[in-house]
Amino acid sequence: MKRMRKLPKLNLTSEKVIKYIKILLVVLLAVIEIVICAQAYGNVRPEYSVYITMALCVILSVLEGVNAFVIKKLWAKMLFYGLDSALILTICVLTGNSFMSTIYCIVLTQCFIAIERFRDKTILFGVSCGIFSVSYTVGYVINAPVISELDLVTNVLFGLLAIAIDYMVATFLLKFYRTNIELSAALKEADESKAQLKEVYEQLTQTKVYEERNRIAREIHDTAGHSMTTVIMQTEAAKLLIDDNPSEAKNRIISANVQARNALEQMRESVHLLAGRPQTKPLKDEIEEVIAQTIDGTDIKARYDLDEAQPSAEVCRFLINGIKEVLSNGLRHGRATAFYIGLHKGSGTVTLLVSDNGVGVKGGFKEGFGLKGMRETAEKLGGSLEIASEEGEGFEVKITVPDKKEDL
């Protein structure tokens, strides 16, 4: 089967179409003027009037061409239209030709194209009807004095009808065409905007995917990391005690097993929260449970002071994960043996303070994945995260977030 060759697409803009219409009008005017001159040459009349008619036709064509393609300002175009009307009046007086209405229509069409406002076009149409009626009447009276009044009125009315049709066509069709061009441009712009919006939407969707991945990663890091740290500490202690104190080593292993089960339960709870299920435990109870899991079966000491506060589920989860992260860091990196945890409810804010007696940090401190994620989340919630540490003086983290209440 032969493949059909695509036809070239015409790229016609509004300016090009109007330009082609103007060229057609100028050419049509020249053709009609040639016919008028030929008729004048064949009639019995003084020879000089034929030459005058030819000269006037040439001048009219030149003026119309200049008006169509050179003159841009509307007032200048109206001036040229006045000159054209005077020439047409003179030609009509000299020849009394029946093509006068056609010439008027051609000249008027050029003006109608140039004028945008409907009121101005209507005024020009009324003035042109008056000029045409006077020109045609004078021309016929001079060139055909024996013509009946009925024929004169009939010819004038036919001419006015032609001008009226030209006015309606030039006004409404051009308006329709320009509106169609504007709609096409608007549709094209809408399509481009739609494509841009689609691209932005895809980018936002991709960003949302990355944000969700980071949120899940932080949730797993905060939940599993803290519990696994406690399990590791218990099993390491059991290894050291297994020879000298098997009974205590057994207790440490049992505690590690309990911690591992708690870790599994916390992971399940995290999955439920990520799926959008509501949190049921009060924030204070959650924090006490985290502290108990951390110190249970170890030599770790913890002192805490917790106010009753129940902000939104998002803030609660963030604070709980924050405590887990700071406790895990203190145990793993700071080698801390004691912690202080404080939860204080202020005026529209909730403040969590966690400090330890670990080795602290010397010099510049670089935030890891956990602390960096905590800072970003705190700022996203409209709060802040402050870190203070000196070598040998432990480590302190202070989180302040708005006290956003649970939605009812």
**How many Cα atoms within 13 Å fall on the side-chain side of residue 7?**
3
Greater model confidence, 272 or 244 = 244
Quote the radius of gyration of the chain (alpha carbons, Å): 47
Region 179-194: what's the mean pLDDT? 78
Q: What is the pLDDT of residue 408?
A: 36
pLDDT tens for residues 291-330? 887 777 677 888 999 888 888 888 888 888 888 888 878 8
Confidence of residue 340 (pLDDT cuts 50, 70, 90): very high
Q: Is the pLDDT of residue 389 over 80?
A: yes
pLDDT tens for residues 265-289? 666 666 655 555 555 578 888 888 8
What percent of the chain shows pLDDT beyond 90? Answer: 6
Region 335-357: what's the mean pLDDT? 90
Q: Is the pLDDT of residue 23 over 90?
A: no
Q: What is the pLDDT of residue 315?
A: 86
pLDDT tens for residues 79-121? 877 787 777 777 776 776 567 777 777 777 777 777 777 787 7
Running DSSP on this structure, what letter comes out for residue 358?
S
- 112-117 contacts, C-beta under 8 A, 24 or more apart: 112/166, 112/167, 112/170, 112/171, 112/174, 113/18, 113/21, 113/22, 113/170, 113/174, 114/74, 114/77, 115/74
What percent of the chain shows pLDDT beyond 70? Answer: 75
Q: What is the pLDDT of residue 1?
A: 43
Q: What is the pLDDT of residue 265?
A: 63
- 54-59 contacts, C-beta under 8 A, 24 or more apart: 56/87, 56/90, 56/91, 56/94, 57/33, 57/91, 58/33, 59/87
Q: Is the pLDDT of residue 222 over 70?
A: no
